[in-house]
Structure 1
Amino acid sequence: MHRFLAFVFVIAPLIATGPLNAADSHVATAATETQTKEVDAMTQEGTRIPKSGRNTFDRDTFEQFVEMRIGTGDPVYWYGQGVISNFPDGKIIARVEGVDIGRLHRPDPDVPLAHFYTRKFVVFRDPETDEILRDEAGEIILRGFPYMYFKVWLDGDVLRTDIESGAGKTMFKLSAGEENEVRHIGDLTVFTMPVPINSPTMQAWEKYDFLVLPEGSAEPRNQVTWSKYSPNFPWMGPGFNTQHAWLYRYDAYEDLPQSVRTIIETVPGADLWRNPPKDLDEIHALQNPDDN
């Protein structure tokens, strides 16, 4: 387990029963100057605390992000577990388990543009028994995306993303990028990506922090922590929830935990998620099912 230390600097006002005398004023000024120097020293490049302000991308960090997120061409498999909690009381509604798989397509390797062909699903588990939740008909509640199509490119020092998903009248497109950031914290690289969602079926907000552990770390080196705030799914009843999950990247289907492979191999229709979309033709067919 990797621990992240948050440093909070609190500057408390000096409270006196009477006016500060000259000696008190000198001590306070010296202390303030010392604190300022310490904070400045800790925020210099190469220390544990990253620089303030938006941390932008260049060609090297663009390529690093693409390789981390989607590999170099062969499929990659992100596996995750997490919880859904009622908002605002924080009571756990369900545990979640799922997989996000994808492959890379580079139209021109010399150009900082990448296409991700992905699909993902999650199932929900009882927080006490760990049993997969089912609907009134006894069917497993599986929230799946048969495809998600990403275009990712470098625009100056901004990493931009266009996302397409859904089909027919429920098809939607999202764009993000202005708030994407990259940080190097010691040997750790962190890509932070907020995603506002405004689709025909949902308005929500989510955020990803992709973590690339240094060379030589135990596998899996590529990880992501994900948070989301959204309206409840229909089976939860009215209200809102928060979601949080931690995911790890594997480079072979056989390396995925048995629990999620059992879902893919035994639940009717779930075998779609054994492999990512092959190409744009497959994605276009999923976008326009009435044309097939």
Structure 2
Amino acid sequence: MTTNLPKLVVFGEALTDFIREDNQRWRSTPGGSCWNVARVGARLGVPTGFAGTVSRDAFGDKLIQHSRQAGLDMRFTRQVERAPFLAMVVSRHPPQYFFVGENSADLAFDVDALPSGWMDAARIVHFGSLSLVRQPLAAHLLEIAEASHAAGKRISFDPNYRDLMAGPTYRSTLRRMAGLASYIKVSDEDLRGLFPELDEATALAQLRAWAPTASILLTRGAEGMRLFTAREVLFQPAFATQVIDTVGCGDACFGGWLASLLARPDASLASHLEFSAACAAATCARQGAYAPLLDDVAALVGAESPCIDFHP
């Protein structure tokens, strides 16, 4: 009998970023928006599973190694004999990238390989990013999202706009996912990419029309973030920190938000928002998509002890 299943289950892609440095050398690092969100949840002490598939090679092995180190529930992640999914980051300023992943490992996801009873145990189920535009994975994940919503689970959604999402096909996916979601995170850059024909205020209004009851977290980097609920709007300034690398900051922000909701259900929305901002700041202060620890958050919010005490 499968026991102790996680309360946060993250579906999506894990990949390897190849980043071109200034000296024209390439540096590889494990990544992927959904995988980053999962690692953040686990590192903050919330039982978390990353439901995705990676390659059985040096790149997949590194993803598995980092997943174990983060404390993810490894019953949710498979390795298969397929090519790795790669993101080639040609330039970071301005961002220029392309993806290599025809018939790659992430597309071999199999829902039947998940632990029995996972949906019953889950409280929040997260979706987003490239996994919702890459077929046949996207179709499978939409079915899981709809089934999870029907089962009364809270759905978390981060579009994490990339150029692959341009066009009418993804627009229908965006609308479907928004309608299912309890929590949506978008950046100002996401809104420009998702709704190029609209100004930001109109784009946000369109998203709200599709998701009238969702809590929408709008992030603006150093300008802070706003939380829009059906009843109120809250503002959280960014924490002052030395910015070393912004990679993974949005993922840390949303992963921290989800972890705080699960572990501190009685906390105020303002407190959850502060915790989320502290996670983003802690990641900005480190190289790479750093997944913050409770001590990192406590140092920023002024707490004397870790902020999360998870009760299953």
TM-score, with length taken from structure 2: 0.28
Q: Greater CA radius of gyration, 1 or 2?
A: 1
More strand by share: 1
TM-score, with length taken from structure 1: 0.29
More helix by share: 2
